[in-house]
Amino acid sequence: MGKVCIKMVIGLVTIVAGSQLAIASPNEADSSSADHAKGKRIFAQHCAGCHGTAGKGDGYLLLGPDPANLTRPATRTKSDAALLQTIHEGKPNMPSWKVRLSEPDSRAVLAYIRTLAK
């Protein structure tokens, strides 16, 4: 019985988090797990194609600079501000995301990248 209840609670939380993502509620920043889920979804959708699902830079390789391995120390040690700037402005071979990702979305995806490096 106890187990069933826990499963139901987890199920409900998942549904609530899922619907929050869909409507991009302004208070989702309050919930770090919802943020993590959002960051993960954005990464899978927009970034993994180049950076690889684990962020190791082994996704789609183009001519020119290869997608950065986001788990390497050179990226890990950069400040949030520096990485957000790259996400906003883009790089050679990386599109600019500022018109497609809101500020909270950019922060969520950056937070997700930080978890990949661990």
3-state secondary structure of 39: helix
- Per DSSP, 27 falls in state G
Q: Which of residues 40-59 bind ligand HEC (CB under 6 A)?
A: 46-47, 49-51
Q: Which stretch binds ligand HEC (CB under 6 A): 1-9, 10-18, 24-32, 71-79?
A: 71-79
Q: Give the C-alpha separation, 39 to 112, whole Å.
A: 5
Mark residues 89-118: x for contact with ligand HEC by CB under 6 A, - for none: --xxxxx-x-----------x---------
For position 65 contacting ligand HEC by CB under 6 A, the verdict is yes
C-alpha torsion angle, residues 74, 77, 79, 80 (rounded to 10): 90
CB of 3 to ligand HEC, least distance (A): 38
